Structure 1
C-alpha cells in the first residue's frame, strides 16, 4: 500500500468515526427523560414501563429513554421543572399545590383513577375486624395531609366513623408504619401495593380503600405552558405513547406483569398479582378528563385540609394535547 493510499484510508476511517460520533450525539439529543411520582415503588408508572419496553413511545414519535423517580409531592414537580422535557405524572394534590404557588403548569392528561392500591392492615389475629372498630384506636399514616391520611379519612367518613376518634400517627413511610404496628405502637397501618402483597402473609387486611370509595382521579400528567406551546407534537407523542402503554396493559396483563417484575425488581408472582388487582378497578386511565372523578379527589383534599374552596379545573387543564377521540 502506498503512503497516499494509507493517508486516504485513514481519512476515510476518521470521517466514518466522525459521522458515527455525530449520529450518537444526535441520538442522545433526541432522547428524552420524564418524571413519574413514586417510580419503582408504586403502580402509577407501569404504563411508561410498558411503553418503553414495547417501543410504543418511539412509535408515537418520541424516544423516552428513562424515568426520573421521586418520593412524590413537590419533589416530582421540581424534577419536572428542571428537566429538558418538563412533563411528568404527579399526584393531584401536588399539581394543585404547584398551581396555588403560582407555577405556570397545566394538566394535560389523567394518569390513574382508582384507590385500589391502598389498604389498611392489622397484625395477625387482631381483634379489630371492621373499620368501625378503629374508633379510639391509633392508625399509622405516612405523613399529615398526605394521600394515606386522606384515604383513611375518606374511608372513615364513608362508614360514619368520627375521624376525631381515631388517632393518626405519622410514621414517615409505609414500612415505618409496619414497624410501629409490629411494636404495637399503633393498632393498624395504611399500606400500598405491591408492599401489601409482599407482606400479605404477615398481616391481616382490615379493608381495601376501593371497597369503600368510588373511582377518583389520583394522578395527572402536567407540563409547563411554555413547553406545551413550544413543543405540542412532542407533548402529544408522550401522551399517545403512554396511552398505548395503558392499552397494552389491559390487552396483555401477563406481559405487563413481566415488565413490572423486570422494571421494578419484583418477584414475578407478586408482579402478576399486583397487575391483576388493578385490572378490575381500571386503575390506569388512557388520559381523558372526568370532572366527576376529579371533584371526588378535590373533596378528599378538602377533607384533610390540603385544599380549601373550589377548583377552577377549566383554568388549569388543557385537553387539546389528548388524542382527538379523548377530547370529547
Structure 2
C-alpha cells in the first residue's frame, strides 16, 4: 500500500547527474507513471548536480530536501556536521563505470596513467573514490598521477577529446555516444569488485521528523518506479530518454537492459559491505579514519516494510 499525505504539492528533488547518468531511471519512471502523486508527493522537477558536495548542497536547496547523492559525499557532509541522514540505497554497482582516453591515445591500461592528467567529476564524488581505489588496487598512488576534478561527463568527454586531459571518467552510455572520439582505457569492474554503493538517498533529520509521510512517499515512489523499470526495461529506456531530452532512444533501451542484467539499482535496502567498499576511497584520502559506524549515519525507518534490514 502506498503512503499518502493530505495533499500532493508540486516539488523538486535532487538526483546527482540527472540527465547524464542512470541513477535517475527509477525517478523518471515514477514521474511519468504517476507514482509520486500516488504516494502523496507531486515531484514535477529534478535538480541535477556534477557529483560530490554539489549534489548535497542542491539537495538542501531543493523544494524538498531530499536527494540521491554519492555515498562518499553523504558521509563527508555528515562528518562535517550537517544534520543529514541516509535513508536508503540507490545504485549499488559500478559495473558500467570506466576511464576513457582519446581514440588515438597510446595508453593501454591503468598503469600507463603515471604522470598523466586524469579526470574525475568532483571532489567526494563516486568517480573520485573509484579512481583512488583503482590506483591502489593496481599498486599505484594518487601522487603518481595528476588528478583533475573536471565537472560533468560532457565536460570530461570534451576535455579528453581535445587532449586537455589524458584520461577521464565515464560510463558505457556516454562512451557509446562518442565511440568516434574516445575508447576505454580500463573498466572499473576489471580492477575492483563492482558491488559498491555508488549513491544513497538522503534528507535532513529535521525534515524527516517533521514530514515522515513525504519522505516515505518519495522512497516508495522510487521503489515502484524501479520495479516498473525492471519489468519494462524498454519502456523505462524510452521514458528516461524523454526525461533527459535525448533523442537516441535505442541507446537508452540498450543501456537500461544492461543495467537490469547487472543488478545496478537497489530497491532501497542498504548493504553495508558494498558501502564499506566505497568508503575505502575516503580512507585512502584520510577523510575518514577507521571504520564508519553506519547506525550513526543511517535511519532505515523510512523504507517500506520488508526493506529495513540491512545486508
Does the pair score TM above 0.5? yes
Say which SS state the counterpart of residue 324 (structure 1) adopts.
coil
Of 230, 234, 246, which residue of structure 1 is paired with 2:210? 230
- Tell me the alpha carbon deviations over residues 201-242 of structure 1, each in whole angstroms, 9 at most, x when there is no partner: 322212221332221111111112222222222211111110
**1:197–1:274: 8 Å Cα contact kept in structure 2?**
no
Name the counterpart of 1:207.
Answer: 186
Shift of 1:195: 2.2
Distance 2:162 2:43 in 1: 44
Distance 1:176 1:204 in 2: 16
Shift of 1:67: 1.6
Unaligned runs of 5+ in 2: 1-5
Tell me: CA distance 1:308–1:177, structure 2 relative to 1, closer, same or farther (3 Å).
same
Shift of 1:323: 1.1
Q: Does 1:277 align with 2:258?
A: yes
Say which SS state the counterpart of residue 184 (structure 2) adopts.
strand
Distance 2:40 2:150 in 1: 43
Name the counterpart of 1:300.
Answer: 281
Q: Does 1:264 align with 2:244?
A: yes
* Runs of 4 or more above 6 Å deviation: none
In the TM superposition, 1:113-132 aligns within 5 A as 113-132=92-111
Say which SS state the counterpart of residue 71 (structure 1) adopts.
coil
Distance 1:246 1:91 in 2: 18
Q: Does 1:32 align with 2:11?
A: yes
Tell me: CA distance 1:59–1:146, structure 2 relative to 1, closer, same or farther (3 Å).
closer
* Rg larger in structure: 1
Tell me: CA distance 1:145–1:78, structure 2 relative to 1, closer, same or farther (3 Å).
closer
Larger helix proportion, structure 1 or 2?
Answer: 1
Unaligned runs of 5+ in 1: 1-25
Distance 1:183 1:66 in 2: 33
Distance 1:243 1:311 in 2: 26
Of 155, 163, 167, which residue of structure 2 is paired with 1:188? 167
**1:123–1:181: 8 Å Cα contact kept in structure 2?**
yes
Number of paired residues?
Answer: 302
Shift of 1:279: 1.9
Q: What is the root-mean-square deviation in Å for CA atoms of aligned residues?
A: 2.4
Name the counterpart of 1:12.
Answer: none
Name the counterpart of 1:152.
Answer: 131
Say which SS state the counterpart of residue 89 (structure 2) adopts.
strand
Name the counterpart of 1:320.
Answer: 301
Name the counterpart of 2:25.
Answer: 46
- Tell me the alpha carbon deviations over residues 116-149 of structure 1, each in whole angstroms, 9 at most, x when there is no partner: 3421112224332232333344423344554333
- Tell me the alpha carbon deviations over residues 240-296 of structure 1, each in whole angstroms, 9 at most, x when there is no partner: 110011111211110110011101012112212322332222111100011101111
Tell me: CA distance 1:269–1:31, structure 2 relative to 1, closer, same or farther (3 Å).
same
**1:43–1:193: 8 Å Cα contact kept in structure 2?**
no
Q: Normalising by structure 1, what TM-score?
A: 0.83
